[in-house]
Amino acid sequence: MKLLIIRHGESEADILKVCEGWADFSLTPRGHKQAEAMSKYVSKHYHVDKIYTSSLKRACQTAQYLEKLTGLSAIKIDKLKEFNNGLRAGLPYDEAYKKYPKVELPIHASRYGQESKLNFRMRIESILSEILSQNSDDQTIVIVTHGGAITQLYHALLKLPIDSKIKFGSGDACVHDWNIEGDKYYINFANYCPYNKI
């Protein structure tokens, strides 16, 4: 099975410099161009069998470009949403971290209406398991999601500790290409941005 893990394009929150998470912002005009360029690349180089997307607007809007070029309907999945950042969602960074400062907590605990590190990892681990079990070895599956969720997908695939400090970078509308072959996992490339500067 081939998995193409794709981050959404640039969103309005990136321009406004606010905490996004579960705040439901749209793509910017630049984000739409990025999503379109990514979709042209994917449709040219892969035969896509199924598309899953986070149910947040910026991911759904990114997936719509893939829908147009592949003729597929993306399946919206709440479990693919970004980390639930609770009361920080939608607030300017300075205000968010002044009102709700960072607190070191055990992995099972949370503050400010957020989900815990444990719940975030288990949510992503669960949807990855579901996607792998629902599809056959010869299929190419696209997952459109978010930067934090992509890091968690890597952590789940590589069986890294829940409190791992390892981050996996994901640019706007960039592609991660994985192969799953039985108990062997191949990361063919990571964070490929199939467009020139837009």
Long-range CB contacts for residues 20-23, cutoff 8 Å, separation at least 24: 20/82, 20/85, 20/89, 20/90, 21/82, 21/83, 21/84, 21/85, 21/86, 21/88, 21/89, 22/56, 22/81, 22/82, 22/84, 22/85, 22/86, 22/89, 23/85, 23/89, 23/90
Q: Which of these is catalytic: 10, 36, 82, 115?
A: 82
115 as an active site residue: the answer is: no
- Name the residue type at position 12: E
8 as an active site residue: the answer is: yes
Q: Which residues are catalytic?
A: 8, 82
